[in-house]
Amino acid sequence: MKLKYLLRGIGIGAFTAGLVAFLVTLGGGTMSDEKVIERARALGYETESEVLARLNDEPVKLTDETPVNSTKTSETEKAVVEEILPSGVKASEETSEQASSEKATSEKTSDEKKSEEDSAKKAEEESAKKAEEESAKKAEEEAAKKAEEEAKKKAEEEEKKKAEEEAKKKAEEEEKKKAEEEAKKKAEEEEKKKAEEEAAKKAEEDAAKKQATGETVTISVKAGQFSDSVAKMCKEAGLVADAAKFDKYMCDNGYSGRISIGDHVIAKGASEEEIAKALCK
């Protein structure tokens, strides 16, 4: 039924156009497009858009003059239909192809949009993942740096502590050594002093003993006398054989300046050292 209407409409339209043109030519006048269309409707013909609309199951608005029960087509109409049929079919096909193309374009646009959204989402995820990796890497580097600094600081503290302990130990050893040396020196001095005291005591005992037996000599030293005078007195008393030599002995050993004023009891036969020490008491 639809093909029939299509063929009829196309044929009627072509026939109407030819008829109108013929009438206009015959009448020797011109008609406007509106009058041509109005005349064609009056004769019972349809436009191409009305035929296509009906072909696509769309309602067609007809005027009161449009005949709806026309079923016969003249030979001329058939010829016209056969002549323009490919064009009409082509127009319908182009319309269908255009709709398909628009649909495909729409689907393509939707797919491209979805693809772009997926790409953007993927890029965002990759960017976030990269940022997380960089953040984790930075945190690891900072932790490693901090651990290295702490290890270095700990090593420096241990080295410092070790140096302090070694210095302290060395100081203690030196202090101990010094104390030992001082103790040893003190002991030596005490030993020497003790020996000197014992020697002096013995000399006194010997002198006392000799004095008791009449074997001592008394040397009286007066103020202003020097070692040479004292040495001569000792020679005269028979304590020394050479006054000059004894004077030199006292000068060389530091006794000349320590001779005491007063009486000094000296045992006969005493040595130069014993005589000198006795004169310095």
Which CATH number characterizes residue 240's domain?
3.30.1490.480
Q: Among residues 59, 86, 110, which one ends one of the domains?
A: 110
- pTM of this prediction exceeds 0.75: no
pLDDT in tens, the chain (281 residues): 456 666 666 666 666 666 666 665 555 555 566 766 676 667 666 666 666 666 555 444 444 444 444 444 455 544 544 444 444 444 444 555 565 666 666 666 777 788 888 888 889 899 899 999 998 999 999 999 999 999 999 999 998 999 999 999 999 998 889 899 989 999 999 998 888 888 878 767 766 666 555 578 889 999 888 989 999 999 998 889 999 999 999 999 999 889 999 999 888 888 899 999 999 98
Domain containing residue 82: 2-110
Dihedral angle over CA of 56, 62, 68, 70, nearest 10: -90
In a domain, 129, yes or no: no
The domain boundary, picked from 110, 130, 163, lies at: 110
Q: Is the distance from CB of 235 to CB of 209 less than 8 angstroms?
A: no
